[in-house]
Amino acid sequence: MQTHKGKKKLILIISILFILLLSIFIISFNIGTFAIGPIDVIKTLFGQGDSKQELVLFTMRLPRIIIALLVASALAVSGTVLQGITKNDLADPGILGISSGAALAVVIYIYFMNGKAYSDVSLITIFTMPIIALLGAGFAAFLIYTLAWKKGINPTRLILMGIGINSAFSAILILFQFRFSTQDFNKIMIWTSGSIWGTNWSYVIATLPFVFIFTVLIIYKARYLDVLSLGDELSVGLGVNIEKERRTLLIYTVALAGAATAVAGTIAFLGLISPHIARKLVGPKHKLLLPTSALVSSIILLLSDTIAKNVLAPIEMPVGIVVSIIGVPYFIYLIMKE
């Protein structure tokens, strides 16, 4: 079935987004303390660059970019799913407290490891942090789900409960931060504003399969998400077991949001605005909406990361702040349009 936008227009839109992403990818190499021109980027990727270029490209820039793409996609997909399940366009993992749950878990973990876990980048740390974040995200989701449950899950209750839990966890987070030394406090501050601090291949290996598997699982459920957006009554009539499907999708969302938060801290707005933009571009059918959301989100995050790293060089801004700078005006614009 073709949308009224026509298949040709859709292909055009997706192609433009891909080209945009590729451009930012290449530009990001060209800026910074060690600039690599576009042609050299391509040469180095094929093993033709000199050793310095290879070092910067392969051990520093590339893993960071891949992590950014994974984080962006994870947040976008989980935001899209949450907006679908809650039937609310303002939902994203941040608002629902899933991200702050993950952040709180990590901060508590760091606190009890006496700050060693953060500064020490051993392999154990790299692989335990995502798990801790995941546990935190899972706990937050569990709390929200059980508190919102009353003979089933009502989407509005889910959101309201999420907002409440988010406030609670954020408050506890701040309490913990005050107990840290100034140095660590600042580090945590930066982390909770969102910063892609994982910059080597171990992080990629730790995160990639996770994000990939859950994203595929969600795309498999794309048509369920489509039906759920018709509302409970029609969904039941079409044979969807709404409680089971919402629960399953919520679990997938938590997994993705948890993974993203583990690696990049809480990046606000990304999971919120990417689905919105994607919806305006390609419509509401999830098979197309989910990948487009991920694409849009990747563009925004990659752009933000490039800006964050270079605009105040040599100081590196937390990427979450740049995303917010882009996100807030758009958000206000959305509200004003209503």
Binding site for another protein (CB under 8 A): 1-4, 151, 219-220, 222-223, 226-227, 229-234, 236-241, 279, 283-285, 287
Q: Specify whether the CB–CB gap between 36 and 56 falls below 8 A.
A: yes
Task: Return the number of the residue (8 or 51) whose C-beta is nearest another protein.
Answer: 8
Residue 87 CB, shortest distance to another protein, in Å, is 9
Task: Return the number of the residue (159 or 227) whose C-beta is nearest another protein.
Answer: 227
Task: Return the number of the residue (286 or 309) whose C-beta is nearest another protein.
Answer: 286
Residue 15 CB, shortest distance to another protein, in Å, is 20
Residue 210 CB, shortest distance to another protein, in Å, is 21
Residue 152 CB, shortest distance to another protein, in Å, is 9
Measured between its terminal Cα atoms, the distance across the chain in Å is: 30
Give which of 102, 108, 165, 166 is closest to 131, Cα–Cα.
102
Give which of 288, 265, 284, 276 is closest to 327, Cα–Cα.
276
Residue 236 CB, shortest distance to another protein, in Å, is 5
Task: Return the number of the residue (141 or 282) whose C-beta is nearest another protein.
Answer: 282
Task: Return the number of the residue (179 or 223) whose C-beta is nearest another protein.
Answer: 223
Residue 75 CB, shortest distance to another protein, in Å, is 22
Residue 213 CB, shortest distance to another protein, in Å, is 16
Task: Return the number of the residue (47 or 280) whose C-beta is nearest another protein.
Answer: 280
Residue 14 CB, shortest distance to another protein, in Å, is 16
CA atoms within 13 A on the CB side of 255: 18
Tell me how far apart the alpha carbons of residues 246 and 141 are, in angstroms, rounded to a whole number: 12
Task: Return the number of the residue (116 or 244) whose C-beta is nearest another protein.
Answer: 244
Task: Return the number of the residue (21 or 153) whose C-beta is nearest another protein.
Answer: 153
